[in-house]
């Protein structure tokens, strides 16, 4: 296979994983995400392809799928791998911002479900801030905000909406 074909097949598998995730087909989304990484892994490292960035996008889908399947320990691992990419990029305005928010949200859920309540509160609060700061549409925005509020309430957390008007989120300084 030529690298161009491998790139196309990798992105097609990732798109299919994202579609299955939106449709609530979590196991299938996880399988497609793994398939996308497997295909991209066959490309030689010297090819002009952002392997790290592509894997970050795949791990973001995988983390969300694992959270949906209630595989919280696995979700934490995938989320950490995805966040290595997203935290260095710091772009909330682009399409990748949707995946970044999703992985922070999934990580917060996994932390809460595995008993790391303080870290969960921080992660869920951060996801809420990121959603509020996001410019542009975000599929599932209202459901995520509702779940964040419910989970923070059960954790005894407070909403971050009482920030000072001049407040700037930490990720804005990265973009």
> Mean pLDDT, the chain, as a whole number?
84
What is the band of 24 on the pLDDT scale with cuts at 50, 70, 90? very high
Alpha helix locations (H) across 23-116?
26-40, 51-68, 72-89, 96-113
pLDDT (0 to 100) of residue 141: 84
pLDDT at 51 over 90: no
Q: Residue 134 pLDDT more than 60?
A: yes
Q: Are 65 and 82 in contact (CB under 8 A)?
A: no
Q: Tell me what pLDDT residue 103 has.
A: 92
The pLDDT, as a whole number, for residue 79 is 95
What residues does each domain of the chain span?
3-158
pTM: 0.81
**Torsion angle of the four alpha carbons 79, 153, 135, 8, in this order, in degrees rounded to the nearest 10:** 30
Query: Does the pLDDT at position 88 exceed 90?
Result: no
Mean pLDDT for 120-143 is 86
pLDDT: which is higher, 42 or 13: 13
pLDDT at residue 85, rounded to an integer: 86
Q: Which CATH architecture has domain 3-158?
A: Alpha Horseshoe (1.25)
C-alpha distances out from residue 168 to 104, 129, 130, 164, Å: 18, 10, 11, 9
Best CA proximity match to 104, nearest among 137, 40, 136, 151: 151
Q: What is the pLDDT of residue 163?
A: 42
Other CB atoms within 10 Å distance of the CB of residue 70: 12
Least confident of 3-7, 139-143, 155-159: 155-159
Share of the chain above pLDDT 90, in %: 53
* pLDDT > 70 fraction of the chain, expressed in percent and rounded: 84
List Cα–Cα distances, 72 to 2, 11, 58, 60, 63, in angstroms.
37, 26, 17, 14, 9
Question: Which pLDDT score is estimated for 5?
Answer: 83
């Amino acid at each position: 296979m030529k690298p161009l074909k491998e790139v196309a097949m990798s992105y097609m598998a990732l798109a299919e994983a994202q579609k299955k995730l939106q449709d609530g087909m979590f196991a299938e989304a996880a399988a497609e995400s793994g398939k996308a990484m497997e295909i991209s892994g066959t490309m030689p490292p010297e090819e002009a392809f952002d392997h790290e960035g592509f894997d970050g996008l795949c791990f973001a889908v995988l983390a969300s799928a694992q959270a949906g399947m209630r595989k919280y320990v696995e979700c934490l691992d995938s989320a950490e791998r995805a966040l290595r990419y997203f935290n260095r990029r710091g772009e909330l305005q682009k399409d990748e911002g949707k995946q970044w928010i999703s992985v922070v949200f999934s990580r917060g859920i996994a932390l809460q479900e595995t008993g790391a309540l303080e870290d969960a509160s921080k992660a869920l609060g951060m996801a809420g801030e990121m959603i509020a700061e996001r410019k542009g549409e975000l599929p599932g925005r209202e459901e995520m905000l509702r779940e964040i509020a419910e989970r923070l309430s059960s954790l005894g957390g407070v909403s971050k909406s009482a920030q000072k008007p001049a407040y700037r989120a930490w990720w804005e300084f990265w973009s």
